Structure 1
Amino acid sequence: MSVKTNLNAMKRMNDKMYPKLNADDRFKMVIKTFVNDDEVQRDKLVKSCPKATYSESEHAYTERIEASRDIVTVFIIQLLEYDKIISIMKILNGFHIKEQEYKTEMKLFTEVNAFLLAFETFCREHVGIDSKDMIQAWYGYDERFIKKIENIKQLLDLYPIYPDLELKDLWLKNVFVNEWNNRVKPVNL
């Protein structure tokens, strides 16, 4: 059998078999085409995928749901990072805080305070929902996030922290509002 005959037989087999693949097998084969840098087979696999028509919830609503979940997730990740840094500082400093270490702590606490204020402002003014409710909606099954915020706020209350409104506005505009506006288009009434 010639090479051309083998290629034609393989093409006919692909034309018959590819449409019959289940989603799991098709997915695995497509991933393999990336690994093998086989764009031709990838195109065949993708084009032979059965087509379906779906109905979904209104796009504006869906985007708000997804954007709010993603923003809260980013908030939680950053909150956990701050909590880790604060915990390490407490362990390292103990009760013997030197003036330089105190200044470092104050700088961090000011940053954390600005971060929390920015998130609360974003939720209240741009989404119209209390920040605790936003966290509860997406991570309500895990009370430790609300507890972490409460514990951090209690710690911040022990220090004479003046809100850094400039830093708060940076968090608010560059992170929370920017992401919300990029994802959520205004609804025309």
Structure 2
Amino acid sequence: MSVKASLNTLKKMNEKMYPKLSADERSAMVIKTFVNNDEVQREKLVKSCPMVNYSESDHAYTVRIEASRDIVTVFIIQLLEYDKFISIMKILKGLDYKEQGFNVIKFVNEVQAFLLAFETFCEEHVGIASRDMIQAWYGYDERYIKMMEKINNFIDIYESNPDEELKGIWLKKVFLNTWKNRVKVR
């Protein structure tokens, strides 16, 4: 349908037609009003949309569930990134990392701080173990739990002391900041 035909269709509509539009028709027409820069028609379409009352679970509960799922998803994405990097390091084990300008201990400290921050977040702020949090959102597929064990084994090889400052940064700036913004905790 051409822009001119769309404009004519919208202009021919009368007040009785607006409430009868289906959700598909109404949304398509509203999008066309943006294209045509027709604020008057857009307002008529929006204001004539039937109003419906819904019941839902407690909002505070719902946002906490959604936020926990999203935080675990971000955690898993970062975990996959670290796992990939560790796998590459193992493949290139024969190379001298210092010669390549790579600080292994700094990397190990970062990964360790990330894992500890997630663990602290789960236990102290959500009230469940990090392992349970992962399984809650990623089922009983042990892949991510095994990946964490593999990464922890890698960290143990370097016998690094946890970097509490870096852990605090991960905890505060990533996990707690996201949690507080989503659930509006003060």
* TM-score exceeds 0.5: yes
Label 1:70 to 1:9 Cα distance change in 2 as closer, same or farther (>3 A): closer
Q: In structure 1, how many angstroms separate the alpha carbons of the residues matched to 2:68 and 2:183?
A: 10
Match runs of 1:90-109 below 5 Å: 90-91=90-91, 93-101=92-100, 103-109=102-108
TM-score (norm 2): 0.81
Q: How does 1:40-79 map to 2 (within 5 A)?
A: 40-79=40-79
Give, in angstroms, the shift of residue 108 of structure 1.
Answer: 1.4
SS in 2 for 1:41: helix
Aligned counterparts of 1:113 and 1:165: Cα–Cα separation in 2: 10
2:46 is the alignment partner of 1:81: no
How far the C-alpha of 1:9 sits from its partner, in A, is 8.5
After TM superposition, list the pairs within 5 Å mapping 1:38-187 onto structure 2. Answer: 38-91=38-91, 93-101=92-100, 103-140=102-139, 142-185=141-184
For residue 32 of structure 1, report the CA deviation from its aligned partner.
4.0
Gaps of 5+ in 1: 1-6
Give, in angstroms, the shift of residue 42 of structure 1.
3.1
Greater helix fraction, Structure 1 or Structure 2: 1
- What TM-score do you get using the length of structure 1 for normalisation? 0.80
Q: CA–CA distance in 2 between the matches of 1:49 and 1:86?
A: 54
Residue 27 (structure 1) aligns with: 27
Q: How many residues align?
A: 180
Deviations along 1:17-60, one digit per CA (max 9) or x if unpaired, are 33222223333333444445444433333222211001111121
Give yes or no for the alignment of 1:18 onto 2:27. no
Cα gap change, 1:13 to 1:81, in 2 (>3 Å): same
CA distance in structure 1 between the aligned counterparts of 2:14 and 2:76, rounded to whole angstroms: 47
CA deviation profile, 1:71-108 (whole Å, cap 9, x unmatched): 112211221222222233333x2333343458522221
The 3 A distance-change label for structure 1 pair 60 and 103 is same
Cα deviation for residue 161 of structure 1 reads: 1.6
Post-superposition offset of 1:116: 0.5
Distance between the aligned counterparts of 2:36 and 2:93, measured in 1? 55
